[in-house]
């Protein structure tokens, strides 16, 4: 980031290249359309705002914070007539009315993986975000708290409740037919990370 702000365009291009798959994955796990457009909007916002960022800013948390706000604005505009969304209560599936065939184009052969992706979409939006940032992006609690604008204790609580809800939805024998998913929620969620990434990732 410092090199980019000093005028090194190659450093800026590398930063964008590095974060594109993660931001794309953030939107793809929640939306059926406009994923690439929203991803580009987030990266453009980073370019535009970089001169105003503190030198010690956490770029990753900053980017995902922009992505979260873009997601909520998109959902409000498209599905809620620009009204407030209780994102700590309502799920993507609840607001967008996604069908049970969501992700069918992503997961043709693995029914268990499709079930897990759908289960993620049934979590409250803020809980889904916390789960994915923790398991897919390897973010620490404090970093996630910065993204979702909540206290670390709230993040821990959301993560615990989300894990319990996923376990409840999927059941103990969920992955029995597909050992590649591993054992338990931690392995299951981590195993599908690549499915929501860009086609070339």
CA dist 107 and 101 (Å) reads: 10
pLDDT at 102: 52
Q: How many CA atoms lie within 13 A of 45 on its CB side?
A: 18
In the numeric block, which tokens belong to residue 89?
A: 């209560």
- Enter the CATH code of domain 2-196: 1.20.140.160
Paired strand residues for 91: 124
From 116, 105, 91, 81, select the one nearest 32 (Cα to Cα).
105
- pLDDT tens profile 116-127: 888 899 999 999
Residue with more model confidence, 150 or 105: 150
CA angle 186–29–171, rounded 5-degree value: 40
Q: If you average pLDDT over every residue of the chain, what do you get?
A: 81
Instruction: Write down the pLDDT at residue 201.
Output: 45
Secondary structure E strands in the chain: none
Whether the predicted pLDDT of 106 surpasses 70: no
Please give the average per-residue pLDDT across 142-162, as a whole number: 96
């Amino acid at each position: 980031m410092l090199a980019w702000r000093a005028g090194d365009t190659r450093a800026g291009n590398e930063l964008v290249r590095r974060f594109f798959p993660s931001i794309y994955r953030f939107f793809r796990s929640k939306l059926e359309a406009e994923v690439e457009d929203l991803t580009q909007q987030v990266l453009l916002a980073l370019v535009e705002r970089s001169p105003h960022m503190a030198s010690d800013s956490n770029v990753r948390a900053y980017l995902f914070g922009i992505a979260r706000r873009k997601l909520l604005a998109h959902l409000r505009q498209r599905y809620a007539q620009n009204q407030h969304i209780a994102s700590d209560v309502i799920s993507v599936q609840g607001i967008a009315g996604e069908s049970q065939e969501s992700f069918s184009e992503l997961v043709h052969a693995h029914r268990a993986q499709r079930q897990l992706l759908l289960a993620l979409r049934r979590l409250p939006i803020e809980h889904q975000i916390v789960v994915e940032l923790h398991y897919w992006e390897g973010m620490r609690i404090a970093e996630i708290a910065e993204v979702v604008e909540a206290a670390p204790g709230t993040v821990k609580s959301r993560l615990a409740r989300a894990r319990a809800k996923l376990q409840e939805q999927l059941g103990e024998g969920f992955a029995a037919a597909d050992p590649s998913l591993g054992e338990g929620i931690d392995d299951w969620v981590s195993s599908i990370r690549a499915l929501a990434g860009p086609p070339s990732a």
